[in-house]
Amino acid sequence: MENKAELIARFEAEMARVKRPGIDKLMDYIRKSDFYTAPASTKFHLSCESGLLQHSLNVLDALRGLLDENQVNEDGTEMWFYMVAGSPVIQISDESLIIIALLHDICKTYFYSTSTRNVKNEKTGKWEKVPFYTVNDLMPLGHGPKSAMLVKNYIKLTSEEMYAIWWHMGFTDQNTDTLSLTAAIQKYPIIWALHTADMMASSFMEDKDGNKDGFGWQELGAEDASGSAGQYADNPAMPGDSDEPVFMEAAPC
SS3 category, 215: coil
pLDDT score for 15: 98
Of 232, 207, 237, which Cα lies nearest the Cα of 38? 232
d(CA 138, CA 108): 10
Whether residue 150 lies inside any domain: the answer is: yes
Whether residue 68 lies inside any domain: the answer is: yes
pLDDT score for 181: 94
SS3 category, 60: helix
d(CA 95, CA 78): 8
Q: pLDDT per residue over 201-229, tens digit each?
A: 999 999 988 889 888 644 444 334 333 44
Whether residue 252 lies inside any domain: the answer is: no
Question: Which structural domain, as residue segments, surrounds residue 51?
Answer: 4-233
123-151: string of b/e by CB count within 10 Å (b at 16+)? Answer: eeeeeeeebebeeeeebeebbbbbbbbbb
> Which portions of the chain are predicted below pLDDT 70?
1-2, 216-253
- β-pairing verdict for 127-135 and 68-72: unpaired
Q: pLDDT per residue over 42-78, tens digit each?
A: 887 898 999 999 999 999 999 999 999 778 888 888 9
Residue 134 has φ and ψ, to the nearest 5°, of: -140, 160
Residue 132 has φ and ψ, to the nearest 5°, of: -150, 160
Whether residue 116 lies inside any domain: the answer is: yes
SS3 category, 88: strand
d(CA 30, CA 244): 12
Whether residue 17 lies inside any domain: the answer is: yes
pLDDT score for 223: 39
Domains contained in the chain, number = 1
Whether residue 248 lies inside any domain: the answer is: no
Q: What is the pTM of this model?
A: 0.81
d(CA 8, CA 148): 22
Whether residue 244 lies inside any domain: the answer is: no
pLDDT score for 17: 96
Whether residue 99 lies inside any domain: the answer is: yes
3-state SS string for 197-211: HHHHHHHHHECCCCE
Residues facing residue 132 across a β-bridge? 115
